[in-house]
Chains A and B, each alone.
Chain A
Amino acid sequence: MMLKEELEREYMRSGHMGCPGCGVATTLRLVLKVLGERTIVVIIPGCHAVISANYPNSVLKVPCFHSAFEIAAPTAAGISNALKIRGEEGINVLAVAGDGGTFDIGLQSLSGAADRNEDFIYLCLDNEAYMNTGIQSSSSTPEKVWTMTTPGGRKGRKKNLMQIIAGHRMPYAATVTMGKPLDLMEKIEKAKNIRGTKFIHALVPCPTGWRMAENLSAKSAMLAVESKLFPLYELIDGINFRITHEPQGIPVKEYIKIQGRYRHFTDSDVEALQKQVDEEWERLVEKAKSCI
């Protein structure tokens, strides 16, 4: 249960330059509500860096550092170690990166930091493409989806990042989305109280890049969850899976039909995707079954 205070406190300010309906802004906002004022945020290039504001302003009420694209994790690790050296305890270090900064260019440095089990929370704001630079495909872009660099649809399936994360045996990893804000906040609360590297994979709707009406932003995230396309679960020590939300199991078509990036999908494309989603879900359920 979230405390009332945690729900109401605010570490992000209005007046940022995020697009209307921006999922990044909401997700970051929710995370910071839980982490509180004793938090240092590391961001890297991405939409969140645009939202964070230009000099001499800040969108955050907590310290923040704009690091480079591929080093969210080691930057956060540097800070958390420095805090330890300085004897400053109980400060959360949050590394924020997009899917480009996580699935692609920052994967190596994330792996390094996770391997050393550095003490910070890594938040991947996955909007499934390089949105800040104008919708280019990343290894998180779903198969056949349109982007500016995959005008004929992306070849190859979205990278299964959580499987990679699992290989690092991090003490805590979880999938979240703003569509289920309380689930998200509860997971951040857990992550906050665990020492070591915590990985949070957030599916973040992007009205601009998903070619979707801005009002559908949060709803698309809910649809992703309820269609089983983006299951919400926790992964403890890289081995124990726990599903945190039982999806309604609505057809995945409901999720993709509101997004222009899927517009060219034929019936058989939809069918194939539904099959993939169902199979992935079953695999997850199986994994979760055998866990404590």
Chain B
Amino acid sequence: MKTLLQGNYAVAEAVRLSRVQFVAAYPITPQTPIYERLSDYELEGKLKGVMMRTESEHSAMAACISAALTGVRTFTATASQGIALMHEMLHFASGNRVPVVMCNVNRVVAIPWAFGSDQSDSLSQRDTGWMQFYCEDAQEAVDTVIQAYKIAEQVFFPVMVCIDGFFTSHFLEPIDIPEQEMVDRFLPPPDIPNRFDIKNPAYVGNVVSPEQYMVFRQKSFEDMEKARGVIKRVDDEYREIFGRGYGYLEAVDTEGADVVLATSGAMTSTARVAVQSLKDKGYDVGLLKLRTFRPFPTKEIQEALKGVKKLAVLDRNISIGKEGIWCQELKAALYPLKERPTITNYIAGICGADVSPEMIEEMVINTLKREDAPELPVWVRRDQ
């Protein structure tokens, strides 16, 4: 049975169902309803454990890290300035190899001050060593949060689940909230090693030599590579139990298509409408929905885009001085292929600016029309 819920509340449900033991958070728009709803659960006794209301996101992550090191299941949520403030701690979490799960509700980063969705806040945390998942809708967010714990606690990397501010976080959607019993079947109760065992004392996280530092870095790198298999297995199992799975990415009619539109996050839903409309008009168009950002699904992308001539990449983010971040990553992933598509990057929807199906259709058609891809990204927006 489906429940009509805002995305933030749906995430809170997933946290509850995952039997999270420790939550540390700090309010920030548009994440705050998650924090509020978890507070309600705490009061109602639905969230067994500790809810720490920290004085900053930085401290929230600090507390999640140390609690996770002590062997408990942790959660926090943030956005925008919050994740920026957390930046140091993000490195800290992955370096400590803790299975912290965080929901980042994408929002622009000041300045200028604004509130709408923009993936730059989390994408710019690319090299902090976190796993990153971008969800299309609230249902996927719920499922991904539950999956995240199972993945994190097997690979010992922190996981960031990203949803679009306001679009996903605040829109009401009919959502299938899984039964606790089924979640329990899928996700074992927390059994995380306590690194501060007084019977087996150790000094955790101390200074290392340059060579030792490289050894730990290499180990993390290799473990992240191994994590790919875990992500897939967990998603397959989830699909078996709950009937829903997402893969690293979703490729719809991409193989050999004249043009493929690559998107991520909430914009994918709009893109689906636009792609269908184009198909109806007779275009040979495919859709590539990108879900995992780290680890980056290079092989799966290469597979999905085999024989594709043109690729339009729609980015709700911008790396100033280069181009859209997904676009950069796709280009790098496709480079080893002998026959690769020409790639046009569209920057749209930043700060939640309107992106209609018509606008997307136009992008796809423009991509098809061009002989060569433009050097710089194409900015698409309505007039002010």
Contacts and interface: CB of A to CB of B under 8 A. Distances in A.
| Residue of A62, A64, A82, A83 ringed by the most chain B CB atoms within 10 A | A82
Contacts of B202: 58, 63-64
B375 interface: no
Q: Is the interface of A mostly helix, strand, loop or mixed?
A: mixed
B125 to A, nearest CB: 16
A68 interface: yes
Contacts, number: 149
B21 interface: yes
B52 interface: yes
Contacts of B207: 49, 54-55, 66
B55 A40 contact: no
Given A58-B202, A58-B206, A68-B92, A115 B55 contact: yes
Contacts of A150: none
Chain A interface residue count: which class?
35 or more
Contacts of B195: 63, 65
B384 interface: no
Counting from the closest, the 9 A-B pairs by CB-CB distance are: A112-B55, A78-B66, A82-B70, A58-B203, A78-B63, A71-B62, A74-B59, A63-B196, A82-B67
A177 B53 CA distance: 33
B356 interface: no
B198 interface: yes
| Residue of B50, B54, B68, B203 ringed by the most chain A CB atoms within 10 A | B203
B178 interface: no
B206 A82 contact: no
A55 B206 contact: yes
Contacts of B65: 75, 78
Interface string B197-216: 11001111111110010000
Contacts of A60: 201, 203
Given A74-B60, A85-B21, 20 more contacts: A53-B203, A55-B208, A55-B212, A59-B203, A61-B201, A63-B196, A63-B202, A64-B201, A66-B206, A67-B66, A67-B205, A73-B59, A75-B65, A75-B66, A78-B70, A82-B68, A82-B69, A85-B67, A108-B59, A109-B56
Interface string B78-98: 000000000011001000000
Contacts of A138: none
Interface of A: 37-40, 42, 49, 52-55, 57-68, 70-71, 73-79, 81-86, 91, 108-109, 111-113, 115-116, 118
A44 B66 CA distance: 13
Contacts of B50: 81, 84-85
A95 B194 CA distance: 18
A62 B66 CA distance: 16
